[in-house]
């Protein structure tokens, strides 16, 4: 250990107090739709697709807290490791689930929209978010995906130009 001088006398530098590991809490509520918001995810297929998407997340060191959605979009509540950017997480989940829809379900024309919404939340918001995801069927009897997505952008103070939200 080195001694250095400072006003008032020498200071002994020690490794004590330094963090040996990285600790990170990165929770995201991610939302994305099918291309052109086509209603092509059949209700009987949804549980399998959501489970597969959760498996993709786990394979890529993410922690999926919930996966769900409706016939035209998906929601994922994810906890990400510090080494994984949200853009890569979304790319892995969307590409892998599209491939699964093509190869396993025979839906060769299935595609997700190009973009996505990723909204950061805190742990205190997890129970409310889980309840929201569980109530998607009921929620979408009153609100369509487009209204829901715009509400998320507004809630999270994200500036947007309505001309470019839907591509």
If we measure between CA atoms, which residue out of 144, 142, 146, 147 comes closest to residue 166? Answer: 146
Query: Is 78 strand, coil or helix?
Result: strand
Higher confidence at residue 10 or residue 67?
Answer: 67
| 131: its two tokens | 């309840």
If we measure between CA atoms, which residue out of 102, 85, 119, 89 comes closest to residue 49? Answer: 102
Domains of the chain: 26-155 (3.30.70.1290)
User: pLDDT, tens digit, for every residue of 73-116?
Assistant: 999 999 999 999 999 999 999 999 999 999 999 999 999 999 99
Q: How far apart are the first and last CA of the chain?
A: 59
Say if residues 32 and 112 touch (Cβ distance below 8 Å): yes
Higher confidence at residue 120 or residue 153?
Answer: 120
Question: What radius of gyration do the chain's Cα atoms show?
Answer: 21
pLDDT on residue 68: 94
Checking if the pLDDT of 53 tops 70, the result is yes
d(Cα 32, Cα 30) in Å, to the nearest integer? Answer: 7
Higher confidence at residue 167 or residue 26?
Answer: 26
Count Cβ atoms below 10 Å from residue 59 Cβ, excluding itself: 11
pLDDT on residue 24: 81
Give percent above pLDDT 90 in the chain. Answer: 62
pLDDT on residue 8: 54
The residue-averaged pLDDT of 4-16 equals 54
The residues, ordered by sequence, that sit 6+ positions from 94 with a Cβ below 8 Å of its Cβ are 32, 112, 116
Checking if the pLDDT of 20 tops 80, the result is no
d(Cα 36, Cα 121) in Å, to the nearest integer? Answer: 27
pLDDT on residue 101: 97
The residue-averaged pLDDT of 38-56 equals 97
d(Cα 54, Cα 62) in Å, to the nearest integer? Answer: 9
Quickly state the pLDDT bin for 1 (edges 50, 70, 90). very low
The helix-helix angle for 46-59 and 86-103 (nearest 10°) equals: 130
d(Cα 88, Cα 76) in Å, to the nearest integer? Answer: 14
Quickly state the pLDDT bin for 19 (edges 50, 70, 90). low
| 56: its two tokens | 């993709």
């Amino acid at each position: 250990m080195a001694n250095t001088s400072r006003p008032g006398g020498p200071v002994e530098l020690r490794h004590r107090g330094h963090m040996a590991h990285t600790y990170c809490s990165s929770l995201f509520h991610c939302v994305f739709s099918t291309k052109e918001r086509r209603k092509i995810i059949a209700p009987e297929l949804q549980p399998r697709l959501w489970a597969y998407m959760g498996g993709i997340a786990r394979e890529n060191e993410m922690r999926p807290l919930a996966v769900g959605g409706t016939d035209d979009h998906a929601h994922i509540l994810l906890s990400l490791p510090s080494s994984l950017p949200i853009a890569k997480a979304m790319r892995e989940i969307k590409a892998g689930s599209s491939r699964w829809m093509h190869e396993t379900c025979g839906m060769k024309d299935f595609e997700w929209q190009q973009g996505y919404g990723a909204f950061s939340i805190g742990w205190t918001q997890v129970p409310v978010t889980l309840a929201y995801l569980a109530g998607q069927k009921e929620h979408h009897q009153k609100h369509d995906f487009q209204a829901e997505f715009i509400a998320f952008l507004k809630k999270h103070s994200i500036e947007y130009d309505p001309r470019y939200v839907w591509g």
